[in-house]
Amino acid sequence: MGCGVINAGKSQHNEDQACCEVVFVERRPSPRGRLMSREGCGELDGGRKGFYFHYWALFDGHAGSGAAVMASEKLHVHICEQLRDLVDILQDPSPPPICLPHGPGDPTRVSVAEDDGEVPNDAVPRFHLEKAVSHESLVIGAIENAFKHMDDQIERERGAQHLAGGCCALAAIYLMGKFYVANAGDSRAIIIRNGEIIPMSREFTPETERQRLQFLALLRPELLGKEFTHLEFPRRIQPKELGKKMLYRDQNMNGWAYKKIEEDDLKFPLIYGEGKKARMMATIGVTRGLGDHDLKVFSSNIHIKPFLSCFPEVRVYDLTQYEHCPDDVLVLGTDGLWDVTNDKEVAGVVMEVLTSYEPNDPCRYTMVAQELVVRSRGVLKERGWRLANDKLGSGDDISVFVIPLGGPGNYT
Amino acid sequence: MGCGVINAGKSQHNEDQACCEVVFVERRPSPRGRLMSREGCGELDGGRKGFYFHYWALFDGHAGSGAAVMASEKLHVHICEQLRDLVDILQDPSPPPICLPHGPGDPTRVSVAEDDGEVPNDAVPRFHLEKAVSHESLVIGAIENAFKHMDDQIERERGAQHLAGGCCALAAIYLMGKFYVANAGDSRAIIIRNGEIIPMSREFTPETERQRLQFLALLRPELLGKEFTHLEFPRRIQPKELGKKMLYRDQNMNGWAYKKIEEDDLKFPLIYGEGKKARMMATIGVTRGLGDHDLKVFSSNIHIKPFLSCFPEVRVYDLTQYEHCPDDVLVLGTDGLWDVTNDKEVAGVVMEVLTSYEPNDPCRYTMVAQELVVRSRGVLKERGWRLANDKLGSGDDISVFVIPLGGPGNYT
């Protein structure tokens, strides 16, 4: 595995944070009544019962590094906590139970669920309609809820710990033969397999999440504080344009249409700008992530957080479905990387660097990551950081993980 | 172009409706002041100014055919109305104006916009931030708003005209070199090009729109009328299961997790069931379409309409980007077709039938459409309608359009 991180000057300190861990998920001790009978089993089993997961994550902080630092220290702990209740279920090849006789790891309930003479859950005749739920979707649910718990922890502890700002979070979890890539923000993950590019995330920005944000603003107009309109316009409207017709789109539209400009349309649009300059409420350029609980619109009392989501989109890649060679990798990068390069160029660098090292050289993935960040920062010239094509570098922090998918001895 | 329609017995009458038209979009007469000066131009131009579009649409009715019949008679008229304001703009290769000096076709305003000495709009210095809007996105916006106007008309006239029920709507519009495929419901469109399948729509059902519906229910709980919970569970919960842990997912989740069952979870889930049996509020299996203004949950006063959307998703296919042969087609089908067959099988039938006719035989597309509906209905045996593989046919109405993309003299 290779990692590269660079601060390219936009902020004084690097607001990107990274974390890479192997985490043991130990089955939660059963409630008191069950604990006694199981402890013996534990010893017969030869010790702790559980499994490992591999974990890599990038946190791109904004308005301070506090949230990013805490998330880098704790997100994997929350994922582990969520998975602890699932240790037995994930290791059992039969479909997960829809209903558990009593809460796993719930210390308020002892093992009396079957005491009233009910037949155990799995002997009950199947319900007429019952949705099948896969093991995979339990892991996805665990990761989703771990992000929520992480965000809650930042909210609780931000006062005492001076946790400023917020962060985008991109995490890759390798568990039981599958990669789970969870993204909340504008970082990006791709798999490069035999030269082919497989996107493993999408970006969450005011532009990509426009309809969700407009829908919320329409249903909860008080969140806009009389300063904003939920409609989008291609540019600011001037008061003297009242009564003219201007292009707009609302929460239902992907296309544009003309509407007659009314008084309310003179408010600032909820979503405004394009590409890297797109902002929600003229304040923030990403719409998912952790933290930002105190973020407000400049010189106002309007909170941003209700519009942000801390939930990631989780994509799954099954490593067992394909035979991977040592040149197949998963690349995670913060937006500092993707602002100045694209999937294809990254794949080119990956292949160029990997082929210049021996396949069993342990340094080759690190060299790829280093090369990616160095090329994306560029070279400091009189006119600022310049890329190879003399374009201006992004100036943003750049963090990259390069994770091999194949080769000898991986994840076993 | 070929068309096939069959009633396979689920309802007494065929609730599917179809429409195929070539529509002339005439520029709306200018307001009084401009009309006089332009009329001379009109004559010099040789008559009416405007353009044609080709139009095919399928309407799959439910709970009566009234909405489907009206939509089949009027949707293209609404699309035409929306496009009338855009005649000059779409024919002008320069980017559409962001702001119009005064409303096009707005009879309440005469041409006095420039009378106050302002410089004309396009001579004003460009704004610092101005989003580029394409001609294509104006057509998309026009189609989106036409669906909305169609739905409004059904609502207004449903009392007088006894328009029962609602309908899914799938429309294909060919305009200035591009196909616009607009879908609201569970019909489906695919392009078959040189044997390759290009999806041109996606289905809108309680399952695919779960998160939108749950989000709305969370923000507007009064719409659930104390009967439903916005959470999804894999099966009904029994009162005696209170306090146990059950799998659930909410508006933020794609995965599943366990939660302790509380009193509120005993309500019926907003989204329930799987595949063709998935229902919203135990009532309806599609979540977009026209009509349904009076639809309520059985023996309750809970309205379904607030959860339904009449807005289509519009996908665009640029016919000029590829040289098409006479075997390349766009297939539109109601769910009666897709319930018993899939994209690949449809492509197989298309190629099999087309190659059995001469390329310039005008009947060949009709024969494909007929073959698709006949095979999907199956053959009536003692045990009901049976398909070639002896599986039960869907029994639903089946309607299909097969529209050639290439060949001599198309759309010129």
B311, pLDDT greater than 60: yes
Lowest mean pLDDT of A162-166, A264-268, B19-23, name the range: A162-166
The per-residue pLDDT for range B352-389, each reduced to its tens digit, is 999 999 888 888 999 999 889 888 877 777 777 777 77
Lowest mean pLDDT of A284-298, A378-392, B72-86, name the range: A378-392
Q: In the structure encoding, which two tokens stand for residue A56, read together?
A: 């890599």
Residue A407: what pLDDT? 58
| Whole-number Å distance between alpha carbons of A319 and A179 | 7
Burial class (CB in 10 A: 0-12, 13-18, 19+), A184: buried
Nearest CA in chain B to A82: B257
Q: CB A256 to CB B138 under 8 A?
A: yes
Residues in A 127-166 with any Cβ partner in B closer than 8 A: 127, 129-133, 137-145, 148
Interface mutation vs chain B, best among A245, A262, A316, most B CBs within 10 Å = A245
Count each helix (H run) and each strand (E run) in chain B, helices first. 8, 20
Q: In the structure encoding, which two tokens stand for residue B411, read together?
A: 């759309």
Q: Please indicate if any CB of chain A lies within 8 Å of the CB of B315.
A: no
Residue A363: what pLDDT? 87
Residue A404: what pLDDT? 93
B75, pLDDT greater than 90: yes
**Which among A106, A143, A256 is the nearest to B137, CB-wise?**
A256
Mean predicted confidence (pLDDT) in B256-272? 96
Q: Are strands B268-269 and B228-229 parallel, antiparallel or unpaired?
A: parallel
Residue A125: what pLDDT? 44
A9, pLDDT greater than 60: no
Residue A179: what pLDDT? 97
Residue B405: what pLDDT? 93
| Whole-number Å distance between alpha carbons of A219 and B75 | 28
Lowest mean pLDDT of A99-108, A190-199, A203-212, name the range: A99-108
CATH top-level class of B4-29+47-96+134-204+310-404? alpha beta
Q: Please indicate if any CB of chain B lies within 8 Å of the CB of A199.
A: no
Length of chain B: 412
B411, pLDDT greater than 80: no
Residue B303 carries which DSSP code?
A: B
| Whole-number Å distance between alpha carbons of B56 and B60 | 14
The per-residue pLDDT for range B165-192, each reduced to its tens digit, is 999 999 999 999 999 999 999 999 999 9
Single-letter amino acid, residue B345: E
A33, pLDDT greater than 50: no
A34, pLDDT greater than 50: no
ipTM of this predicted structure:
0.87
Beta-ladder partners of A198: A191
Interface mutation vs chain B, best among A99, A173, A310, most B CBs within 10 Å = A99
pTM of the model: 0.88
Percent of chain B with pLDDT over 70: 84
Q: CB B254 to CB A137 under 8 A?
A: yes
Phi then psi dihedrals of residue A189, to 5 deg: -130, 135
Classify B246 as helix, strand or coil. Answer: strand
CA-to-CA dists, residue A131 to B69, B235, B274, angstroms: 36, 7, 7
The per-residue pLDDT for range B36-49, each reduced to its tens digit, is 444 433 333 456 79
The per-residue pLDDT for range A272-331, each reduced to its tens digit, is 998 888 999 999 999 999 999 999 999 899 999 999 999 999 999 999 999 999 899 999
User: Chain B closest CA to A126's CA: distance in Å?
Assistant: 10
Listed by start position, the domains of chain B span: 4-29+47-96+134-204+310-404, 209-285
Q: CB A103 to CB B245 under 8 A?
A: yes
**Tokens 């310049």 map to which residue?**
A386
The per-residue pLDDT for range A100-121, each reduced to its tens digit, is 986 544 444 333 333 344 444 4
| Whole-number Å distance between alpha carbons of B265 and B246 | 10
φ/ψ bin of B59: left (φ > 0), alpha (ψ from -120 to 50), beta (otherwise): beta
The per-residue pLDDT for range B200-256, each reduced to its tens digit, is 999 999 999 999 999 999 999 999 999 999 999 999 999 999 999 999 999 999 999
**Which among A141, A255, A272 is the nearest to B314, CB-wise?**
A255
Q: Which residues of B touch A247 (CB under 8 A)?
A: 96, 98-99, 133
Q: CB B103 to CB A255 under 8 A?
A: no
Q: CB A257 to CB B144 under 8 A?
A: yes
B261, pLDDT greater than 90: yes
The answer to whether the CB of A402 falls within 8 A of the CB of A331 is: yes
The per-residue pLDDT for range A162-189, each reduced to its tens digit, is 777 999 999 999 999 999 999 999 999 9
Q: Please indicate if any CB of chain A lies within 8 Å of the CB of B103.
A: yes
The answer to whether the CB of B276 falls within 8 A of the CB of B339 is: yes
Q: Of the spans B140-149, B272-281, B333-342, which averages the highest pLDDT?
A: B140-149
**Which among A103, A143, A244 is the nearest to B100, CB-wise?**
A244
Average pLDDT of chain A is 86
